[in-house]
Amino acid sequence: MKKQPLILLLPLLVCLITASPLIATAQVITSPQIDALVQRTLTTFDVPGIAVAVVKDGKVVHAKGYGVRSLKTKEKVDENTAFGIASNSKAFTSAAIGMLMDEGKLTWDDKVIDYIPEFRMYNGYVTEEFTIRDLLTHRSGLGLGAGDLMFWPDSSNFTIKDIIHNLRYLKPTSGFRTKYDYDNLLYMVAGEVVERVSGKPWEVFVEERIMKPLGMNRSAGSYARLPDKGNVIDAHASVNGTVQVISRDMFRFGYSAGGINSSVADMSKWVIAQLNNGKYGEGKRLFSEGVHNEMWAPQTILPVSPTPVPPYNTHFAAYGLGWFLSDVQGYKQVTHTGGLAGMVTQVTLLPELNLGIIVFTNQQSGAAFSAVTNTIKDSYLGIPASDWVARYDERVKKGMAEADKITKDIWTGITSEQKNNTAKVDFATYAGTYRDRWFGDVILSQKDNKWWLQSVRSPKLTGELFYYKDNTFVVKWNNRSFDADAYVTFQLNENMKPASIKMKPISPLTDFSFDFQDLDLQRVKEK
């Protein structure tokens, strides 16, 4: 799920017990300072609305909204405004599995096929050995975001049944359990495990067993299930250089990978329970301490710089069960980000400081939540003040400039070809239906004197085709908020006729859920 802006920045911490004097002398950020920080962040990164909460020692010390929920309505964000938290839902999924484990109904290392007999991966050995733990740890061997086009963007008609069936067609890019590559589909399968074991859909289980006990009364397992939609954000993205309201992702399944909608006020209750090892209220528990420890234990190793980079000097990083883990300044950091079209979020915990930081935004700028989180975190770590807003602003501008150059060069070349008419392209030669085993049919056809590419099962993936060079075209999607225009390259058969298509995104900033590169589109012979 929109996991880029799911820029998974993994700044971490670590602190020896003997370092307590450092914390004692730290200048902890005040609420007025957070107010000023967020207002500057809104302006710098052109974000309409942000909500921030800080939890310290079991209490909410700051919870506030900034800016507007929507550029259309101009209604204000507050601490109770609901955002789609996207992949921050994954921690709820691992917790749900852990709760079923506490009840003796399964274990982390049970085989998935024991609960979902029709489950199949590309390799038979992997199918037989695949465990529930493997569903939660991004080490399946599949590539980054593999198969996400079955739910992203949200216009597709795929179902969870389709997801489970089509996993067998996704070719691995690395060895089983050898490498980290972020995955959404397997978290959807984990949600199906929850349903088959508990007898309740994942979203119902999470609402009844986690949200209700914690008093998360304004939250739900999906947008459609929100009890009150009177205080929710609209999604926003840059379209042709201007930030505007875009359509909300309305997924029909797969909520266990990123469906929860919540506010920073409600999420503070979840964070407090997490920092309290699963305990809440007067001696009550969501899950056992053993389950809690396992969720926060390294499962899949992540790469870090061989030379620790100031100010956090991170030496190790890993993925646990629904959480990213790392060390920052000697402290353990537990964190996750989440992203959907037009909104991105971050939750950060420093257990040894009993500190939680929650930042939700209604624009897809990972730089915004990172700048706010890092500034607040640094004040509690006693790190000298750093202008994270300026640093991320510089990074964003540099990255966008590089991406803009790439895309501009492509379209300049296309415009030149059209103007000079140097390429005599017979588009009709390429027309027809092309089929991928897991994604279905893509049709190339002519309409209104233009050539179009359209996915049958994902209608939002419709765009005009332009000749680029050789046997490569470019598709320009009708929905300009995608930022995902792609190369469309034809492979020819022995008769020099188009036989198949390979695709890949043009811009390096394209969200990885647009996994065009995983498609293997073979031309369907006409009857």
- pTM value? 0.93
Q: Is residue 165 part of a domain?
A: no
Rounded to 5 degrees, what are φ and ψ at 204?
Answer: -70, -45
Q: Provide the pLDDT confidence category of residue 234 given band limits of 50, 70 and 90.
A: very high
Greater confidence (111 vs 18) lies with 111
Quick one: 379 and 416 in the same domain? no
Task: Report the pLDDT value the prediction gives residue 10, as an integer from 0 to 100.
Answer: 33
Residue whose entry in the numeric block shows the structure tokens 């080490």: 139
Question: Token pair for residue 433?
Answer: 């239906």
Please state, as a whole number, how many other Cβ atoms lie within 10 Å of the Cβ of residue 107: 12
CA distance 340 to 205: 23
Task: Report the pLDDT value the prediction gives residue 79, as an integer from 0 to 100.
Answer: 98
pLDDT at 305 exceeding the cut of 70: yes
Please give the average per-residue pLDDT across 142-165, as a whole number. Answer: 96
pLDDT at 155 exceeding the cut of 50: yes
CA distance 295 to 291: 6
CA distance 514 to 231: 30
CA distance 492 to 122: 27
Condensed to tens digits (0 to 9), the pLDDT of residues 89-98 reads 999 999 999 9
Quick one: 88 and 132 in the same domain? yes
Quick one: 314 and 228 in the same domain? yes
Task: Report the pLDDT value the prediction gives residue 26, as an integer from 0 to 100.
Answer: 55
Question: Token pair for residue 7?
Answer: 């820029």
The average confidence (pLDDT) of the chain is 93
Quick one: 98 and 218 in the same domain? yes
Domain-ending residue, one of 324, 353, 386: 386
Please state, as a whole number, how many other Cβ atoms lie within 10 Å of the Cβ of residue 482: 23
Please give the average per-residue pLDDT across 208-234, as a whole number. Answer: 97
Cα angle vertex 150, ends 201, 483, to 5°? 120
Q: Is residue 237 part of a domain?
A: yes
Q: Is residue 321 part of a domain?
A: yes
CA distance 447 to 449: 5
Quick one: 333 and 444 in the same domain? no
pLDDT at 355 exceeding the cut of 80: yes
Residue 458, CA distances (Å) to 150, 159, 201, 442, 466 in order: 8, 12, 25, 9, 21
Quick one: 185 and 264 in the same domain? yes
Please give the average per-residue pLDDT across 156-173, as a whole number. Answer: 97
Q: Is residue 163 part of a domain?
A: no
pLDDT at 171 exceeding the cut of 70: yes
**Residues spanned by the domain of 444:** 405-523
Q: Is residue 392 part of a domain?
A: no
Q: Provide the pLDDT confidence category of residue 423 given band limits of 50, 70 and 90.
A: low
Quick one: 446 and 306 in the same domain? no
Task: Report the pLDDT value the prediction gives residue 40, as an integer from 0 to 100.
Answer: 98
Residues shown for the chain: 527
Alpha helices in 231-320 (DSSP H): 255-258, 264-275, 289-295
Condensed to tens digits (0 to 9), the pLDDT of residues 480-514 reads 999 999 999 999 999 899 999 999 999 999 999 99
Domain with residue 504: its CATH number is 2.40.128.600
Please give the average per-residue pLDDT across 352-356, as a whole number. Answer: 98
Quick one: 324 and 444 in the same domain? no
Residue whose entry in the numeric block shows the structure tokens 């799911």: 6
pLDDT at 422 exceeding the cut of 70: no
Count: domains in the chain: 2
Domain with residue 264: its CATH number is 3.40.710.10
Q: Is residue 170 part of a domain?
A: no
Please state, as a whole number, how many other Cβ atoms lie within 10 Å of the Cβ of residue 402: 12
